[in-house]
């Protein structure tokens, strides 16, 4: 079993804001992240798949196909977007890094299995170089 990873990036705006709460409580819990006019990040996403290298190619998965899949299914939907307003799969959800990474998993996991015998193993999402999350699907 070899684990293969691909890094992609996107730039997006968001805010952390719970619509069921008062302005005050949002400010208290989310601080400057709740700024009503948004702020944003250069996100970095690392997609890790696991599998046996194919003896004919030496590949766990064709990296070009993996990269294309990530770009079509994730990057094109979030890059240069507002994560709260523009992204269908984030509607009605808090735009935290934790929620983002779990939605990305729901999209990518079946698609990776459909293009190869490799399995999605982990998603790692950097909001900044100092703050990041990992998700293993469970």
The count of other CB atoms within 10 Å of the CB of residue 11 is 12
Question: Using CB under 8 A, which residues numbered 1 to 30 contact its own copies?
Answer: 1-9, 11-14, 16, 18, 20-21, 29-30
Q: How far apart are CA 87 and CA 115, in angstroms?
A: 24
- The beta-strand segments (E) located in the chain are 2-14, 39-51, 81-82, 119-128, 131-135
Query: For residue 74, how many other CB atoms are within 10 A of its CB?
Result: 23
Among 69, 70, 77, 81, binds its own copies (CB under 8 A): 81
User: Which 39-68 residues touch its own copies, going by CB under 8 A?
Assistant: 39-42, 48, 53, 56-60, 62-64
Closest CA to 46 of 60, 67, 64, 65: 67
Residue 29 or 115: which CB sits closer to its own copies? Answer: 29
Using CB under 8 A, list all residues that contact its own copies: 1-9, 11-14, 16, 18, 20-21, 29-33, 35, 37-42, 48, 53, 56-60, 62-64, 79-82, 85-86, 93-99, 101-102, 128-136, 138
Active site residues: 33, 80, 127
């Amino acid at each position: 079993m070899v684990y293969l990873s691909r890094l992609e990036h996107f730039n997006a705006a968001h805010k952390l804001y719970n619509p069921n709460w008062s302005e005050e409580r949002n400010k208290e819990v989310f601080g400057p992240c709740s700024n009503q006019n948004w702020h944003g990040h250069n996100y970095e996403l690392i997609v890790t798949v696991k599998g046996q290298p194919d003896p004919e190619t030496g590949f766990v998965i064709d990296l070009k196909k993996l990269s294309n899949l990530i770009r079509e299914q994730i990057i094109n939907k979030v890059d240069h977007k507002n994560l709260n307003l523009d992204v269908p799969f984030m509607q009605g959800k808090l735009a935290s890094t934790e929620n983002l990474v779990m939605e990305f998993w729901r999209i990518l996991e079946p698609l990776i299995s459909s293009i190869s015998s490799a399995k999605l193993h982990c998603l790692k999402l950097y909001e900044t170089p100092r703050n990041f999350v990992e998700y293993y699907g469970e």
